[in-house]
Amino acid sequence: MASLKELSKRTEGLVGGHRACAGCAASTAIRQILLAAGDKPTVTGICTGCMEVVTTIFPYTAWNVNLVHNAFENSAATVSGMEAAYRALKRKGKIDAEIQFIAFGGDGGTYDIGLQSLSGAIERRHKMLYVCYDNEAYMNTGYQRSSATPYCAHTTTSPAGTKIPGKPQKRKDLTEIIIAHEPAYAAQATPGYYMDLIRKVEKALAADGPSFINVLSPCVPGWGYPLDQTMNISKLAVETLFWPIYEWQDGKYKINIKPREPKPLVDFLKLQARFRHLLKPGNEHLLEELQAEVNRRWEVLLRKEQATNG
């Protein structure tokens, strides 16, 4: 794995001057991912969403690598098509460069609108990395709920009030859906543990086939927290078991960070305005439900790791 010293000498793939919010985790994650990709020729694609909008305001771009912007639903389709064209040209001897391919999409463009194109790209076994920067809602268009939005989270289309306590449905487990496709590599990460993310990107790009990394990306305006707390919240998501850091390869699970004494989920929730209503008297049962669900999913993941590693 590349050291911090080595990473500091690499060419930046995402440079300054973009219009992302102060404290944006997604832009930080993309910067980390492109640094991990190294100086090897890299072709990227990104679908419509926060990161596309703030980094490619015409006539400017913050991308220092080849980038294709495509529609909301087809980041995986576009990048897999480019990868297929590259392989065809290489077979014909018209190109000899070693090129790596990375597709980016938010949770709206991945969990929801782009799920079919991502599923197809993995099934066709394209050698590409798909990265979902998961900020758990449609942040670009006004903080509407997506299938990545957690249970009880307040959004503009699942407003917490007297009728509903925020989003009434549980969050989709996209990483497990992708693992069911048996990709070459799949993982969850967060920019708060940046060397873990760097290592996973390196493994994903080296894998012989399609790979996927789901990166939890806290959003200052959508989640409602002070802009200097992004990395703290990224780490709390892991320390409270809300967002397990793990990877899957060759049929085996590996949990990368196992907190010895997990912190209570409320430590993660209380910093965010989207969960503020849960702290009011009378909503204790909702906090208990959320904690129980986090514990249940963690136990399931522990059993999977044990079962696949003998």
Would the CA dihedral through 36, 39, 42, 46 be positive or negative? positive
- pLDDT at position 97 is 93
- pLDDT at position 167 is 98
* Average pLDDT value for residue range 97-112: 97
Q: Are 133 and 104 in contact (CB under 8 A)?
A: yes
Written as one letter, the residue type at 78 is T
Share of the chain above pLDDT 90, in %: 97
Q: Are 165 and 286 in contact (CB under 8 A)?
A: yes
Written as one letter, the residue type at 100 is Q
Fold of 4-308: Rossmann fold (3.40.50)
pTM of the model: 0.97
Phi, psi torsion values for 183, nearest 5 degrees: -70, 180
Among residues 5, 7, 280, 27, the alpha carbon closest in space to that of 162 is found at 280
* Average pLDDT value for residue range 125-130: 98
* Average pLDDT value for residue range 7-28: 95
Report whether pLDDT(310) > 90: no
Report whether pLDDT(1) > 90: no
Report whether pLDDT(133) > 90: yes
3-class SS string, the chain: CCCHHHHHCCCCCECCCCCCCCCCHHHHHHHHHHHHHCCCCEEEEEECCHHHHHHCCCCCCCECCEEEEECCCCHHHHHHHHHHHHHHHHHCCCCCCCCEEEEEEECHHHHHCCHHHHHHHHHCCCCCEEEEEECCCEHHHCCECCCCCCCCCCECCECECCCCECCCCCCCCHHHHHHCCCCCEEEEECHHHHHHHHHHHHHHHHCCCCEEEEEECCCHHHHHCCHHHHHHHHHHHHHCCCCCCEEEECCEEEECCCCCCCCCCHHHHCCCHHHHHHHCCCCHHHHHHHHHHHHHHHHHHHHHHHHHCC
The residue extents of the domains of the chain are: 4-308
- pLDDT at position 262 is 98
Written as one letter, the residue type at 147 is S
Question: From CA 141, how far away is CA 163, in angstroms rounded?
Answer: 24
153-205 pLDDT tens trace: 999 999 999 999 999 999 999 999 999 999 999 999 999 999 999 999 999 99
20-34 pLDDT tens trace: 999 999 999 999 999
Place of tokens 């492109």: 34
Would the CA dihedral through 57, 58, 60, 64 be positive or negative? positive
222-231 pLDDT tens trace: 999 999 999 9
Average pLDDT, the chain: 97
Give 94: exposed, middle or buried? Use CB within 10 Å, 0-12, 13-18, 19+.
exposed
Question: From CA 58, how far away is CA 133, in angstroms rounded?
Answer: 23
Report whether pLDDT(306) > 90: yes
Report residue 129's pLDDT band, with 50, 70 and 90 as the boundaries. very high
* Average pLDDT value for residue range 10-26: 95
Question: From CA 49, how far away is CA 148, in angstroms rounded?
Answer: 15
Share of the chain above pLDDT 70, in %: 100
Report whether pLDDT(288) > 90: yes
- pLDDT at position 195 is 97
